Amino acid sequence: MRQGLVDADFRRQIEGYGLTTANILYRLPDHPGLLQSYLWQNYDLAPKFPELERFLDFWNRELEGPIHSVEVAHSHLVRPGDWRHVNGLYRMQ
């Protein structure tokens, strides 16, 4: 199979990446007493989360709303060990 035909997200899952969701609470620049929520979701590697770290570095460098807290949820959707050869076809109606 040519590599161009495989979905990039699927390839990342096989490489060990799992779907990561981060709920980022940040302070509004004009009203620092108020918190706003931002939901970030991407495939990332636990436990170091390099993709999330890159995003948070970007946020701190480029955006005005200082981060208050980050809650992270991570799930391995497909792992290499989940694949096995199945012999047969089963139809459900």
Q: Which amino acid is at 82?
A: D
Segment 24-76, tens digit of pLDDT: 999 999 999 999 999 999 999 988 899 999 999 999 999 999 999 999 988 75
The DSSP line for 2-57 is -GGGS-HHHHHHHTT-EEEEEEEEEE-SS-TT-EEEEEEEEEE-TTT-HHHHHHHH
Read off the pLDDT band of 78 (50, 70, 90): very low
Average pLDDT over residues 15-19: 86
Is 90 exceeded by the pLDDT of residue 87? no
Q: How far apart are CA 70 and CA 25, in angstroms?
A: 6
Q: Specify the pTM.
A: 0.72
Residue 89 is encoded by which pair of tokens?
A: 């076809």
Q: How far apart are CA 17 and CA 44, in angstroms?
A: 5
